[in-house]
Amino acid sequence: METSLEAEEAVQDIEAGTLDVRVKQVRYEGKGIHSYEFTSLTGEPLPPFEAGSHIDIHLKNGVIRQYSLCNSPAERNRYVIAVLRDEAGRGGSRAMHDEVAAGSIVTISRPRNHFALDGNAKRVVLIAGGIGVTPLKAMAHELDTHHVEFEMHYCARNRDAAAFGEEFSAMERDGRLHYHFDDGAKHNQLDIAKLLARPAPGTHVYYCGPAGFMKACADAASHWPKGTVHFEHFKAPEQPKRAPAPVSTESTGGCDVTIASTGQVVHLSADQSLADALNAAGVEVPTSCCAGLCATCKVRYREGEVEHNDFILSDEERREYLTTCVSRPIGKTLALDL
């Protein structure tokens, strides 16, 4: 049983935007994939979340990583994430697999959602590539709860590499979940272009997976009506080598960023991220992924032109906001609504 002091601290953490949770269970879900079930320290329900939400996990070495919640949002007693061990990655998944065990306590953020289901959809197509299945699994649960018609396609190398086999078995049996294995029969592999050939009124598409898969989905859905196609990258895609920095910042060695509320001017050098420059000048901007994937560092701007390098903001949002970890001003000045 937790002491009242621990309970009090946990509540304070919630108010501060983070909370400590207990790792109740670590499960093998598929080749290289572990799921982690987190429960409250106090016995209180966890903060609510919607399908598509992710949480930050604060790892022991100070590293913060984002993982999508994959259980049903109707469950208030637990959060579940799943992590694919990536030996070639930045180390977050290895730390999760090696250091986070059942019984331990980890600090997490409150859930945030940049990949929400559209409540107006009459029918939904979910397309998952590999570990990109995690947010889509939560969506399948939510759609099921609200009796919205959906079909889910899950692409994986083979059945061993596909996660949540047990949990998905009912959905597979009733024909809403279709597996597509790279190592399987050719006719069973997913033809994304064919699947998305004809947009149907009221149908929305959601996809998440590795870079090649994301591009195939984007190409296949390019003719779908605006606002009906939704996606989330779980890793920053490989970028072609960046063109030289815009002339104004290159030639002057940087540019000046004005903080609208105080008039403070922060100098941004050509080799610095905007988030780093702001934080160094005492203008606090929270960051998390530092890769343009999570929008934690999103800030509204008032004046100036921006080179947007994120993978999360819509065109509409980009007219108002920028992500300070990867995006940069193009002109000599920029005013931020801070």
* Contact residues: ligand FES, CB under 6 A: 287-290, 292-297, 310, 323, 325
Closest residue to ligand FES in the complex (CB): 325
Q: What angle do the packed helices 133-145 and 165-173 form, to 10 degrees?
A: 50
Query: Is the CB of 257 or the CB of 297 nearer to ligand FES?
Result: 297
Query: Is the CB of 93 or the CB of 287 nearer to ligand FES?
Result: 287
Q: In whole angstroms, how close is the CB of 66 to ligand FES at the nearest point?
A: 8
In this structure, the number of other CB atoms found within 10 A of the CB of residue 251 comes to 11
Query: Is the CB of 18 or the CB of 39 nearer to ligand FES?
Result: 18
Extract the tokens encoding 124: 């939904």
Cβ–Cβ < 8 Å for 162, 179: yes
Q: In whole angstroms, how close is the CB of 117 to ligand FES at the nearest point?
A: 21
Q: In whole angstroms, how close is the CB of 326 to ligand FES at the nearest point?
A: 6
Query: Is the CB of 54 or the CB of 180 nearer to ligand FES?
Result: 54
Q: In whole angstroms, how close is the CB of 286 to ligand FES at the nearest point?
A: 8
Which residue stretches of the chain are H helix? Answer: 4-16, 92-99, 133-145, 165-173, 192-195, 211-220, 247-252, 274-280, 315-318
Query: Is the CB of 198 or the CB of 242 nearer to ligand FES?
Result: 242
Q: In whole angstroms, how close is the CB of 53 to ligand FES at the nearest point?
A: 15
- DSSP label at 205? E
Query: Is the CB of 42 or the CB of 324 nearer to ligand FES?
Result: 324
Extract the tokens encoding 253: 């060695």
Separation between Cα atoms, residue 30 and residue 35, nearest integer Å: 9
Separation between Cα atoms, residue 138 and residue 33, nearest integer Å: 17
Q: In whole angstroms, how close is the CB of 291 to ligand FES at the nearest point?
A: 6
Short-list 274, 275, 291, 323, CA closest to 89: 291
Extract the tokens encoding 182: 């790279």
Query: Is the CB of 143 or the CB of 297 nearer to ligand FES?
Result: 297
Element (H, E) at 246: none
Q: In whole angstroms, how close is the CB of 28 to ligand FES at the nearest point?
A: 29
